[in-house]
Amino acid sequence: MQNPRQLAFLALRDVYRRGAFADIALDRVLRNTQLTSADRGLVTELVYGTVRRQRTLDALIDQLGKKKAHQQPPELRTILHIGLYQLRYQERIPASAAVNTTVELAKENGFKGLAGVVNGLLRQYERLATASTLSKHAIAPEQQNPKSHDPLQLPTEPVERLGVWHSFPDWMIQMWLEQLGLDETEQLCEWLNQTPTIDLRVNPLRVAIDEVEAAMQAAGVDVRRVPQLPQALRVIGGAGNIQQLPGFSEGWWTVQDSSAQLVSHLLNPQAGEVVIDACAAPGGKTTHIAELMGDMGTIWACDVRASRLRRLEENAERLQLQSIQIRTGDSRHFSQFINSADSQERLPVADRVLLDAPCSGLGTLHRRPDIRWRITPTTVQELSVLQGELLEQAASWVKPEGVLVYATCTLHPQENEGVIQPFLERHCQWQIEPPSSDSPFSAFSTPQGWIKVWPHRYQMDGFFMVRLVHRP
């Protein structure tokens, strides 16, 4: 029988040593296994959780070990992460089981001589945790501070303190503090460290949302409506294999987070129009646009990566959508969306354009935990340049009085306001069209007219979006 902790170790080794993305490494180790759903869940939790809490776990190794985390053999460090993660964050796993299985993991992976070190470090954490719990119980609940009754020793400097406690890089903490202040930054960090939910977008061209809701409940899957989103259902609790849920093969629904569904509603495409999705893959918003148009009109789905566009085509086929046309290439260099029949006057062809720009993804850190360790301020700067170039080209495709929606799933102002404001200063014919006061978007709207979805406030992925109108 396959050992779930060994599989987690193999996946984490790929992530830490070979730079693999956590979801790809996890899929690789689970692909040909015969695990129970509980063991698959354990592997998934250990991989995502350990990557997510990497900074906190390193701080514990620094505190408890004779050698700092960066001085440990890389694979031993990974094994210690797995053990400490279970002890600290997995209440359902008995401490003795967490310690013993981690010691065995060390022995099985070439560290038999250091098994005593692993045992000693984990037992030391367990003793400190027990002592902290006893101390906490001696204090009235209203006077308790979780940070003051914890084995982890925290830095005194506020940014670093939050970064170690919640396991984020200091520069991200600083950015959020500047936008939100201390209390909301803590709330955001806590939200981004939660296990993500799954949202479904019902395809109204195939089925009514009531039917999907009933089918899910009949299959023992608990789902809830999402306010302000007529096609959204949130899966409560585990869903198992998504493709085995009722209606998947029939094209009744697709997986899409609620905030991503907001983007296509903001675009508000109409039947018969020409719509361009400039960065379309893997196609969640493209297929949503087709559904909102009643699959009547033309949608050009563009992306630089052909492999991701194939996923879009597969989804469109499953959802039985016919109006999507594929174009592979870099949208910064597309000229075919400007009508050149008259050489004297080149006319744009699109009624609406969606630019869901490549971004740092900081609004989706709960789904993609390794992003926090991959993205740097330099990455953000490079992305903002790319976003500005894409916006310039996409704007040239929009007819007079047409609409362009710019969207990202990041919470970094340099990629959001920092891209839109300079564009508007350069192009006076473009204006922000803020949502009306009775619009579902008014809850997310800022005084400037753009829309910001903060995850901890609205319980969905972080997003920025703005609707621009071309008024020459």
Residues 310 and 454 reside in one and the same domain: yes
Predicted local confidence at residue 171, as pLDDT: 98
**100: CATH:** 1.10.940.10
Please tell me which residue in 279, 302, 359, 409 is annotated as part of the active site: 409
**222: CATH:** 3.30.70.1170
Do the beta carbons of residue 358 and residue 281 sit within 8 Å? no
Amino acid identity, residue 61?
I
The mean pLDDT of 64-75, rounded to a whole number, is 95
Query: What single DSSP character describes residue 434?
Result: P
Residues 225 and 358 reside in one and the same domain: no
Domain holding 245, by residue range, is 198-255
Structure tokens at 339: 């009508």
Nearest Cα neighbor of 427 from 439, 435, 416, 419 is: 419
The mean pLDDT of 77-90, rounded to a whole number, is 97
Do the beta carbons of residue 256 and residue 227 sit within 8 Å? no
Instruction: Give Cα separations from 77 to 71, 72, 99, 381 (angstroms).
Output: 9, 6, 15, 32
Domain boundary among 220, 255, 290: 255
Residues 93 and 203 reside in one and the same domain: no
Structure confidence by residue, pLDDT tens digits, 275-286: 999 999 999 999
Residues 341 and 452 reside in one and the same domain: yes
Structure confidence by residue, pLDDT tens digits, 166-176: 999 999 999 99
Overall residue count recorded for the chain in this entry: 472
Residue 175 lies in a domain: no
Residues 245 and 127 reside in one and the same domain: no
Nearest Cα neighbor of 365 from 188, 160, 174, 175 is: 188
The average confidence (pLDDT) of the chain is 92
Residues 313 and 330 reside in one and the same domain: yes
Predicted local confidence at residue 140, as pLDDT: 41
Residues 263 and 128 reside in one and the same domain: no
Nearest Cα neighbor of 76 from 113, 23, 28 is: 113
Residue 282 preceded by cis peptide, ω within 30 = yes
Structure confidence by residue, pLDDT tens digits, 323-359: 999 999 999 988 778 775 554 566 788 999 999 999 9
**313: CATH:** 3.40.50.150
Residue 347 lies in a domain: yes
Residues 19 and 134 reside in one and the same domain: yes
Do the beta carbons of residue 362 and residue 371 sit within 8 Å? yes
Q: Provide DSSP, 12-34.
A: HHHHHHH---HHHHHHHHHTT--
Decide: pTM greater than 0.85.
yes
Residues 279 and 424 reside in one and the same domain: yes
Total structural domains within the chain: 3
**Nearest 5 degrees, angle CA 103-CA 104-CA 107?**
90
Amino acid identity, residue 210?
D
- pLDDT reading at 239 higher than 90: no
Percentage of residues of the chain with pLDDT beyond 70: 94
Residues 384 and 366 reside in one and the same domain: yes
- pLDDT reading at 139 higher than 80: no
Residue 106 lies in a domain: yes
Domain boundary among 89, 119, 154: 154
Predicted local confidence at residue 237, as pLDDT: 79
**Terminal-residue alpha carbon distance, the chain:** 68
Dihedral sign of CA atoms 280, 284, 285, 289 in order: positive
Instruction: Give Cα separations from 38 to 80, 205, 446 (angstroms).
Output: 22, 36, 43
Residue 177 lies in a domain: no
Residues 430 and 352 reside in one and the same domain: yes
Domain boundary among 154, 189, 224: 154
Assign 466 to helix, strand or coil. strand
* Rounded distance between C-alpha atoms, residue 85 and residue 79, angstroms: 10
Residue 303 lies in a domain: yes
Residues 147 and 44 reside in one and the same domain: yes
Q: What is the largest CA-CA distance in the chain?
A: 83
Q: What is the enclosing helix (H) or strand (E) of 74? A: helix 74-89
Predicted local confidence at residue 399, as pLDDT: 95
Residue 184 lies in a domain: no
For this structure, is 409 an active site residue? yes
Amino acid identity, residue 395?
A
Q: What is the dihedral of CA 106, 109, 112, 113, to 10 degrees?
A: -90
Do the beta carbons of residue 125 and residue 64 sit within 8 Å? yes
* Rounded distance between C-alpha atoms, residue 232 and residue 224, angstroms: 8
For 48-57, 73-82, 149-158, which range has the lowest pLDDT when averaged over its residues? 149-158
